[in-house]
Amino acid sequence: MTNEYIQQILSDKFGAAVWGFEETFGIFSFNIKPEINTAVLQFLNDEASLSFQFLTDLTAVHYPDRKDEELCVVYHLHNLVANKRIRVRASVPVAQPDIATMTNLFSSANWMERETYDFFGVNFTGHPNLVRILNADEMNYFPMRKEYPMEDPTRTDKDDEMFGR
């Protein structure tokens, strides 16, 4: 199973809704439209020549500068038999971060989606129990978003102009 084969079969099936194929540090990655995440992951799972049936990791990344696709949900999938890993990214706007849950396909997605909701506020529609998992229940913001800095922004004694983000 080569990268070209995966790219070909996905492009044939989903057309322009799948794009940005690249290999970064040994993992073949691509972007998909968030509306078709269930269809793509189901297809990757069912298609005998692909069989990406193991969900290694599910998380999100917040890119505040990307207009209307600020929150990027990242799936790491693994075909254990062929020992091939891929990364699937689906970006949603931070104003309305809705994406379908993958819990029907992977039981492991349950807590990983809860964690992603907890820290980024991604709304996994259809999730059986989308509540906070690591943070306190009464928290009313999503702490891993970039607008929440680590340090108190009102402090003046720690000037990071020279060193630091």
Check binding of 18 to other proteins (CB under 8 A). Answer: no
Give the integer Cα–Cα distance in Å for 32 and 94: 17
By three-state DSSP, how is residue 147 classified? Answer: coil
Q: Compute the least distance from the CB of residue 79 to other proteins, in Å.
A: 11
**Nearer to other proteins among residue 35 and residue 81 (C-beta):** 81
Strands 71-79 and 18-24, sheet pairing: unpaired
Check binding of 38 to other proteins (CB under 8 A). Answer: no
> Considering only residues 3, 11, 108, 123, which one is a binding residue for other proteins as defined by CB under 8 A?
108
Identify the CA nearest to 61 among candidates 21, 92, 106: 92
Give the integer Cα–Cα distance in Å for 99 and 96: 9
Q: Compute the least distance from the CB of residue 56 to other proteins, in Å.
A: 7
The answer to whether 129 and 122 are in contact (CB under 8 A) is no
Task: Give the count of alpha carbons within 13 A of 10, CB side only.
Answer: 31
From the list 4-12, 32-40, 92-100, 147-155, the region that binds other proteins by CB under 8 A is 147-155
Residues near other proteins (CB under 8 A): 24-25, 27, 29, 53-57, 59, 61-62, 74, 76, 80, 83, 85, 87, 106-108, 110-112, 115, 119, 132-136, 143-144, 148-151, 163-165
